[in-house]
Amino acid sequence: MTSGANRQASPGGQRSGQETRSTLIGRLQTAAVQEVQSDAPALELVGVSKRFGAVVACEDVNLEVAAGEVVALAGHNGAGKSTVLKMLAGVNQPDAGELRLRGRPVHLRNVRAARAHGIETVPQELALAPKLSIPANIFLGRELLLKPAFLRLRARRQMEVEAAKLLASLGVRIPRIRAAAGLLSGGQAQAVAIARAVGWGRSVVVLDEPTAALGLHETTQVEQTVLRMKEMGLAILIVSHDLDQMFRLADRIYVLYHGRVVGVEKTADATPEKIGALIHGHQTDAETN
């Protein structure tokens, strides 16, 4: 994908050299270098609160994710996880507190604004168009448009090449890149959805229960993709009800209970029993790391 995915070609159908070089992989590598060079976390929530009428969905939430780090967000249904994710996706806005990217405050007034700031969310419900090809899904809404019409075939082929390179960089094996998304296995389809988020996400990739509907083999495929994303220097926030998965993937785990963070644990120092206790509201005065 190019950063000028919706740009038209320059007169005569020729694109600038800069635009030609601005591939998805190039965007990803540049973003990773910028994140590593910055001392500030890729993502911070500082004192964030959100109410819906009299209901307090989350209160004074402090959370941070560094570049090259996987952070898990744990908690029962109703603990506030979905509210946090929706604020990061630009669906809802906080009533108090601040969202920061690389130390800079940002206001995510809508989904488009969140994406413009480089935050991509992979929802729990698979968001692929089953009748479209894999490249068409990866470029959905950000298609490379070239004029005149005879150059459209070149644009389509370029999208296919860049989509294949992106999937290969994540270790995702798809036999036929032009296949319709509806023909993919559950694990392959989720990997494509994650790859799309990786390709366009410059700051943070948010994964909401990425393996909830998958079998063991497909879950392993997706987890390998997540670990590859970490190696590439991306900041990853993952919501999961699977404690074992959190310990396999995450560097740290934040636990929400009744909308508040009641524990922050390094997975290397924690146990599933301790995280489970925090999820159920026990030891809410546990020391956070």
pLDDT band at residue 91, thresholds of 50, 70 and 90? Answer: very high
- pLDDT tens for 51-88 read 999 999 999 999 999 999 999 999 999 999 999 999 99
pLDDT exceeds cutoff 60 at 35: no
Phi, psi (5° rounding) for residue 202? -95, -20
Burial 163-201 (b: 16+ CB within 10 A, else e): bbebbebbebebeeeeebbeebebbbbbbbbbbbbbbbb
Distances, alpha carbon 229 to alpha carbons 50, 151, 159, 196, 270, in Å: 30, 33, 21, 12, 23
| Nearest Cα residue to 12 out of 130, 107, 147 | 147
**pLDDT for the residue numbered 7:** 36
pLDDT above 60: residue 110: yes
pLDDT band at 221 (very low <50, low <70, confident <90, very high): confident
Does residue 13 surpass a pLDDT of 90? Answer: no
d(CA 230, CA 221) in angstroms, rounded, equals 15
| CATH, range 11-128+181-279 | 3.40.50.300
| H-run or E-run covering 21 | helix 17-21
> Above 70 in pLDDT, residue 18?
no
Mean of pLDDT over the chain: 83
Count the Cβ atoms, other than its own, within 10 Å of residue 84. 28
Single-letter amino acid, residue 254: Y
Return the higher-pLDDT residue of 118 and 145: 118
Q: Name the percent of the chain lying above pLDDT 70.
A: 82
Q: Which residue from 101, 117, 146, 161 is spatially nearest to 109, judged by alpha carbons?
A: 117
Quick: pLDDT tens for 112-126. Answer: 999 999 999 988 877
Task: Compare 97 and 9 and report the one with higher pLDDT.
Answer: 97
Q: Which is higher by pLDDT, 236 or 172?
A: 236
pLDDT band (50, 70, 90) for residue 102: very high
Beta-carbon count within 10 A of 61 CB: 24
What is the per-residue pLDDT across 227-248, written as a single tens digit (0 to 9) for each? 989 998 999 999 988 999 999 9
